[in-house]
Amino acid sequence: MTAEASGETPPATRCGFVALIGAPNVGKSTLVNALVGAKVTIVSRKVQTTRALIRGIVIENNAQIILVDTPGIFLPKRRLDRAMVSTAWSGAHDADLVCVLLDAKTGIDEEAEAILTKAASVNHEKILVINKVDLVQREKLLALAQAANERMKFARTFMIAAISGDGVDDLRKTLSEMVPAGPFLYPEDQMSDAPMRQLAAEITREKIYQKLHQELPYQSTVETEKWEERKDKSVRIEQTIFVERESQRKIVLGKGGATIKSIGADSRKELMQILDVPVHLFLFVKVRENWGDDPDRYREMGLDFPRE
């Protein structure tokens, strides 16, 4: 019997945006995936793999939590770097709550210090999340939590290990209680607002980093050019990997095309797991010189193009 049929008032829903702010490699993408319970953002050993505001959507009790996984905040040098940092802070200012993530092992280094200083200017309740606590002794964790809370006022402090899920349930429950009252903004069965074409491109980009994290710099991007749902329920996907120089194209292709085949096989396997249908994936590699200075590429990644 529903609450309406029994004459009871149904519980009021809550819904809000929660921004995750932190230095590169602090574990924001891993935390989003742990909170959602599915893979919605790429996770890489290389820093700076999250470029756009990819949201994970969590339903907890009567609340919908929309997670904004921002680019890691760092000292920007290139135009793309500046766009990513600007996007990160705009995500924090636009959210209802802000989770400031610290790496338990790294502690408050120069990057974390700068983030804490700037986060103090964000006029929302802030939650301190210390990640990777499984790697550090308890005494050091308590000292880190105290030092961070002395620098800025946090509503709550959580100690978690996102990779194993330790402490994540408690954080999810608290976020569901802290987001403001209001109707759900997304369908209940939707985990991310990133279109599947974009998610597919992100997955292939992750596989490139896993294979070539030492050889290939960040001047590469992936675009899903075609997405065809076929009568046999399979999906045909065509993607283009863009690099800036011919030498980079040869690295991605590999000897006899071995590297691109390996990247495609790994990406196809993960896409099949997510889509739960057969996937036919075709990868192409093209040189697009100075794509890092092309405003259209930034718009496709959900970033504002810095004019300077």
Nearest-angstrom CA–CA distance, 241 and 222: 4
Q: How many CB atoms lie within 10 A of CB 123?
A: 8
Furthest-apart CA atoms within the chain: distance in Å? 70
Domains of the chain: 14-178 (3.40.50.300), 196-301 (3.30.300.20)
21-49 pLDDT tens trace: 888 778 888 898 899 887 665 444 444 44
Binning pLDDT at 50, 70 and 90, where does residue 177 land? very high
Nearest-angstrom CA–CA distance, 169 and 64: 15
pTM attached to this predicted model: 0.62
Mean pLDDT of 227-248: 89
pLDDT at position 107: 93
In the annotated binding site, the residues are 22-29, 69-73, 131-134
Nearest-angstrom CA–CA distance, 240 and 285: 6
| Torsions phi, psi for 10 (to 5 deg) | -65, 150
Mean pLDDT of 56-72: 80
| Three-class SS state of 208 | helix
Total count of residues recorded for the chain: 308
178-192 pLDDT tens trace: 999 999 988 777 666
Q: How many CB atoms lie within 10 A of CB 24?
A: 16
In the annotated binding site for GTP, the residues are 22-29, 69-73, 131-134
pLDDT at position 83: 52
Average pLDDT across the chain, whole number:
79
Q: How far is CA 209 from the centre of its chain?
A: 15
Least confident of 61-65, 73-77, 137-141: 73-77
More confident site: 53 or 140: 140
